Structure 1
Amino acid sequence: MNWRTGMILCLLLAAGVTGWSVWRQYHPDQDVVLTSRPDYVLHDYEIVSLDKLGKESFTLRGPQLQRDPADKTMTLNTPHFEVPDRTGHYWNVDAKRGFVPAGGGQLQLTGEVIAISPPQSPPATRIETESLTLLLGEHHAQTSDAVTITQPGLTMRGIGMRADLDRQHVSLLSQVKARYVPQH
């Protein structure tokens, strides 16, 4: 083999490597693209979810919802939930952030979570915590964080909570302290 044949082979190899490099730069792996951005984003949305019988399970509103295509999870910015109780009146639940795991049977709320009972169903109840998991099909809520529950004349604090929003039954799990001030 003479020097010209060697030079031509080196130039062909260099051209092939350069062409492949340019092609890769303009055609990134599909997996990299799919995991680096959501497959859809909703702005100023309202979602009404129905149960198996076609009855409203909850309504969700918010400024932004994003779905991750890789693990089928959703993140929510400042979500607002309306969860009906058995009489058709609504609990209002707000938080700074929300996360829906794959499967969608629950919602994890974090950051200044506030749940307010329906005004038509006394006693007026306000629940405040830093995190809350809503079990959507069951209308139950729970947390292992510190919780403050306020009703007219009564303030209760504790660690951990379980709530049946349908029946307006709330239980604090440990380190419970209550302050009762009679209403006149």
Structure 2
Amino acid sequence: MNWRGAITAALVVGALISGIAVWQAQQRLRSEAPDQAAPDYVLHNFTLVALNATGTKAFTLRAPLLERNPVDHSMTLQTPRFTFPDKKSRLWEATSNTAWVSDKAEEVRMRGAVRLYSPDGQSKAVMRSEKMNVFPQQNRAVSDVEVAVTQPGVILRGRGFEAQMDQDRVTLKSEVRAQYDPNVSQ
């Protein structure tokens, strides 16, 4: 074999190795889950008003940290404080340790020490859970884990929960227990 053949063979092998390396790098990038992507923007100590598809207010949000995912345009939040207006323009307040908001503000997933407070002037109910999903356009909140509903004088506990916020209706799905205590406040 002459020197031209040896150089050609070396170049072919180098091109083959380079092609395999590029292909593997692309596979790694494709396999990276959307929630692992670096945020395209980050907000610190902010107030945000989210609008739904029709341009009406879905919720108001205050939090110390928001990170937006560039792939699916969702937002992750630390210690958020939400206000959700119902169809009667009353404000339901909610807090949690963390939250995730879908790209069109159709769903809010709150996790860790979740609290949902009924509007002022109502029954002064507080719903407590470790996990709750709110659907602002439907004026609905749901949970599939244990929830405690506290009102002055009574505590209700159950597994599974649905609140129809515009109708002031709360439904506990199973394992419901009630405790009457006139000394209980919020």
In the superposition, the TM-score normalised over structure 1's length comes to 0.76
Does the C-alpha gap of structure 1 residues 86 and 3 become closer, same or farther in structure 2, counting only changes over 3 Å? closer
Q: Tell whether the 8 Å contact from 2:51 to 2:105 is kept in structure 1 after alignment.
A: no
Q: Match of 1:89, as an amino acid?
A: R
Partner of 1:43: 43
Structure 1 segments of 4+ aligned residues over 6 angstroms from their partners: none
Question: What CA deviation, in whole Å up to 9, does each residue of 1:53-97 have, x standing for no partner?
Answer: 65433112221232150x444332222211123443322111122
Q: What residue in structure 2 maps to residue 65 of structure 1?
A: 67
Q: CA shift at 1:104, angstroms?
A: 4.0
Superposed CA offset, 1:120-173 (max 9, x none): 323211110111111110111011110101111111111111112223221212
| Alignment of structure 1 residues 149-164 onto 2, 5 Å | 149-164=149-164
Q: Contact (CA 8 Å) 1:68, 1:74: kept in 2 or not?
A: no
Q: Which residue in 2 is equivalent to 1:92? A: 93
In 2, the alpha carbon distance for the partners of 1:103 and 1:86 equals: 19
Pair 1:174–1:7, CA change in 2 (3 A): closer
Partner of 2:6: 7
Identical columns (%): 26
Query: Which protein is bigger by CA-based radius of gyration?
Result: 1
Partners of 1:48 and 1:31 in 2: CA distance? 36
Q: Which runs of 5+ in 2 are unaligned?
A: none
**Residue in 1 aligned with 2:83?**
82
Q: Alpha carbon RMSD of aligned pairs, Å?
A: 3.1
| Aligned residue pair count | 176
Rounded to whole Å, the distance in 2 between the matches of 1:54 and 1:15 is 56
Normalising by structure 2, what TM-score? 0.76
C-alpha separation in 1, matches of 2:66 and 2:53: 27
